[in-house]
Amino acid sequence: MSKVLPFSKVSVSRRVAVALLALGPWLTVAAQQSGGVAPAASVPAAGITQVGELSSVPAPSLTATAWLTLDLNSDQVIAALNPDQRVEPASLTKLMAAFVVFDAIESGRLSLDQKVHVSEKAWKTEGSRMFIKPDTQVAVNDLLQGFIVQSGNDATVALAEAVAGSENAFVALMNEEAARQGLRDTYFTNAPGLPHPEHLTTVRDLAILAKNLIERFPQHLHYYSQKEYTYNGIKQNNRNRLLWTDPTVDGLKTGHTSSAGYCLVSTAVRDGRRVLAVVVGAASDAARTENSLKLLNWSFQNFDTVKLFDADKPAVTARVWEGVSETVGLGSLEPTWVTVPRGKGIDVKPVANYSQPLIAPLKKGQEVGQVTVSLDGHVLREEPLTVLADVPEGSFFGRMYDKVMLLFQ
């Protein structure tokens, strides 16, 4: 059980103390006067711990340059090797190209049945191909299948030109989107993922990008689970062999060049839980497939993802001064999940830290502190603690009364 901090050590009213104690013993609360947040006694000053480090079953030994596995329900990295080493993404670049194309479709700038002119530049693009012909009109839906299922570089450039007018302009949109998503170590020089000394990313950035793609465009994810596509009389299989190996896998993208090695971003859903694995720099197609499946199986079999708080359900009820109400719920506007080693959910310790006094007006969604989640003394994650309802200012006399009362707190 979590220990509630002694209220003699924090500035909080007796009524608030009673309210907090009524919440139950499993949530620790620390509060102090504005100007700082009291450190929780049970949480070390060290940074976030990858939950994989706390498992009694170590991560599998993989033959790859870098890899990462991410639980999308909790948004926690389970484990990683060289997550911030800059690497060539090869055709994993097409995840960002797809993001920009899907955004154009959803904003109405492009439609699935729209016919796109195939330029000579698109037709001549080297590497994997859909085998579109120059000076023809091809539907966006067909190009998407050639671009995603067949990993066609020619289809990629055709779509880039349809969205932005030229591949260079499209690449500028890709880099703008990378910056918007906070992909700090990613830079693109072309749309398909052809080798270039400055065309680099990291497995951490790729995991963030893939997560954002899955969550933003679920209506288009069916392309990634499509096993084959035939165009111009040529049938090509999806290069993601996991689609045939594991029925829970529904994506996401392969990549390969001689300099980048064999790469795969894979994802699967089991019992409502989605896990993402990123593997780059494997020695062969078989190796990237085997490594990815090992990561997915290890992540599903040895970890649980449990819900700490529901959306808009207070993690703590706090005293409000000078407002129309005396208390307000603090929590998260989204459900809060945490990934832990299997069977350890009961040992999780959430600690709510927020500054006092809370003075109206307060706005729903306003951040006033944080919830730190720890297990066995290790911090697993930190989440903003936000106000769950508007609290307008109270009457003039009510505010004056509270100002006087605060002098005695």
Is 107 known to be catalytic? no
Is 349 known to be catalytic? no
Q: In whole angstroms, give the CA distance from residue 72 to residue 279.
A: 17
Half-sphere exposure at residue 102, Cβ-oriented, CA atoms within 13 angstroms = 22
What are the angstrom distances between the C-alpha of 370 and each of 19, 127, 181, 406, 408? Answer: 19, 48, 22, 24, 27
Catalytic residue among 2, 151, 266, 299: 151
Number of H helices, E strands in the chain: 10, 18
Q: In whole angstroms, give the CA distance from residue 309 to residue 315.
A: 7
Task: Please give the backbone phi and psi of residue 35, each rounded to the nearest 5 degrees, phi first.
Answer: 120, -5
DSSP 100-162: HHHHHHHTTSS-TT-EEE--HHHHH--SS-----TT-EEEHHHHHHHHHTS--HHHHHHHHHH
Catalytic residue among 94, 253, 294, 349: 94
Q: Which amino acid is at 220?
A: H
Catalytic residue among 2, 13, 55, 91: 91
DSSP class of residue 306? E
Q: In whole angstroms, give the CA distance from residue 89 to residue 261.
A: 9
Chain centre to alpha carbon of residue 11: 37
Q: In whole angstroms, give the CA distance from residue 246 to residue 244.
A: 6
Q: In whole angstroms, give the CA distance from residue 137 to residue 231.
A: 13
Q: In whole angstroms, give the CA distance from residue 37 to residue 369.
A: 7
Number of residues that make up the chain: 409
3-state helix, strand, coil in the chain (%, to 5): 30, 30, 40
Ramachandran bin of 182, using left for φ above 0, alpha for ψ from -120 to 50, beta for the remaining angles: left
Is 94 known to be catalytic? yes
Residues 170, 161 contacting (CB under 8 angstroms): yes
Give the residue numbers marked as catalytic: 91, 94, 151
